Every structure is written in structure tokens, then in C-alpha cells.
């Protein structure tokens, strides 16, 4: 499964990228706002830092303006994926931008029917929001599984990008159910290394090393 990092924090992206943990980046206006920087400037810096797709979101809601904004965003770098909402106008924009050869990430997906429409419109990525479904007592993993089955049934090439990931368990479950990509905040990705038995084992090793007076350097 590919790892995208969901942030506009350059330092956090660079740290994870140096470890080979970044296959792409997802951003949105809220994340850009947190960075306190110009959207075009910070997006360009991210694109220069990573080799994989960088999702940059449009701000308009009508198709014509989304298309115009998408065309502006792809001028930033070759690895830009234009992020559009899963609305009828968003699908129109997706179709046009895809036909022009650009990557498109269709976001805010909450049903299998929506995902099917996005695939038909040629989306590069479909972003089902797991955490937000969990918030209303629906199982986000069920949606990922349904989309996986539908796409596999008909050979759609749209990649399932599990989004709104809030816990390390979301990452595991997304991988098990067959998501192609997951995007998560840096803190969630870094938390994947944690396990109490690892900590316990390390403490025991260190105690033994100290008692034996073992030194390598």
C-alpha cells in the first residue's frame, strides 16, 4: 500500500520522505491555512520535495471555475493531482481534466455509488473518508471493501485512497481490505512504530547490556 502524508508541513514531509515513507502528499485549503503560507508557494515546495503525486485542491464549486483552477494548479509541477469534490460539477471537472492528461483526486466520497461515478469520470484517485463515516456510526472499512469489489469486478483503474485516517488501526484495516493508498497525518504514520511489547523488550535489553557492561563503541 502506498503512503501519502496528509499535511502541508514541509519539515514533517521531509522527515518522512527521508525514510522512504512518502509516496505522495495530500493537501487542502485547511492544511495550507495552518502553514500560514501562500498556496502556490507551499505546493511548489512540496512538489519539489517528493516524487509522487501531490494533491492540490480547487476552491471553486462550479465546474468551469474548477477546471480553470485545475489548469492553474497543474502548472506548478508535473506531479500535481487536482483535487475536486464529489459533486456533479466536480465530476464534470474530473472528466475534462483527466481527458487533458492530468491526475485527478476526487474527494469527499461517502458511498460506493459515488465511487463508481468517479471511476466512470476517469478519476486517478477516489478518496473515501473513513473517519467521518465512523463519526456517524457507519463503518468506513465497509465502504472501502465495497469500492474494492466494484472496481475489481469491472477493471476500473481508479486507485482507492483511504482518507480521513485518524488511528493506526485505520491504516491496518485499510491495508487488509485492499486500499491502494492511504493518506494520514504525520503523527499517525509515526505512531505506527509504537508497540508496548517493543518498549518492554527494549527496556529488558538495555538492562542486560548495562548489567553486563557491554560496549560496542
The residues carrying an active-site annotation are: 83
Q: What is the DSSP letter of 158?
A: P
Quote the strand ranges of the chain, DSSP E: 2-6, 24-26, 54-57, 80-85, 103-109, 125-128, 159-162, 181-184
Q: Is 164 exposed, middle or buried (0-12, 13-18, 19+ CB in 10 A)?
A: buried
Phi-psi region of 108 (alpha: psi -120 to 50; beta: other; left: phi over 0): left
Question: In terms of Cα–Cα distance, which of 125, 3, 116, 159 is closest to 57?
Answer: 125
Query: In Å, what is the CA distance from 17 to each residue of 3, 37, 41, 59?
Result: 10, 21, 19, 27
Q: How far is C-alpha 210 from the chain's CA centre?
A: 43
Amino acid at each position: 500500500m502506498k503512503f501519502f502524508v496528509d499535511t502541508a508541513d514541509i519539515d514533517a514531509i521531509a522527515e518522512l520522505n527521508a525514510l522512504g515513507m512518502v509516496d505522495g502528499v495530500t493537501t487542502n485549503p485547511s492544511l495550507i491555512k495552518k502553514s500560514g503560507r501562500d498556496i502556490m508557494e507551499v505546493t511548489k515546495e512540496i512538489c519539489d520535495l517528493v516524487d509522487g503525486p501531490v494533491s492540490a485542491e480547487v476552491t471553486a464549486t462550479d465546474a468551469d471555475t474548477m477546471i480553470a483552477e485545475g489548469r492553474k494548479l497543474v502548472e506548478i509541477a508535473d506531479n500535481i493531482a487536482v483535487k475536486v469534490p464529489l459533486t456533479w460539477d466536480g465530476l464534470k471537472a474530473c472528466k475534462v481534466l483527466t481527458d487533458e492528461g492530468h491526475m485527478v483526486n476526487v474527494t469527499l466520497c461517502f458511498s460506493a455509488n459515488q465511487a463508481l461515478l468517479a471511476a466512470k469520470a476517469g478519476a486517478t484517485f477516489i478518496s473515501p473518508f473513513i473517519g467521518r463515516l465512523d463519526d456517524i456510526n457507519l463503518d468506513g472499512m465497509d465502504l472501502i471493501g465495497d469500492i474494492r469489489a466494484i472496481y475489481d469486478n469491472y477493471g476500473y483503474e481508479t486507485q482507492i485512497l483511504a482518507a480521513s485516517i485518524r488511528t493506526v488501526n485505520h491504516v491496518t484495516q485499510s491495508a487488509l481490505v485492499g486500499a491502494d493508498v492511504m493518506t494520514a497525518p504525520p503523527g499517525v504514520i509515526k505512531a505506527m512504530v509504537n508497540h508496548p511489547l517493543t518498549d518492554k523488550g527494549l527496556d529488558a535489553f538495555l538492562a542486560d547490556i548495562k548489567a553486563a557492561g557491554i560496549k560496542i563503541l
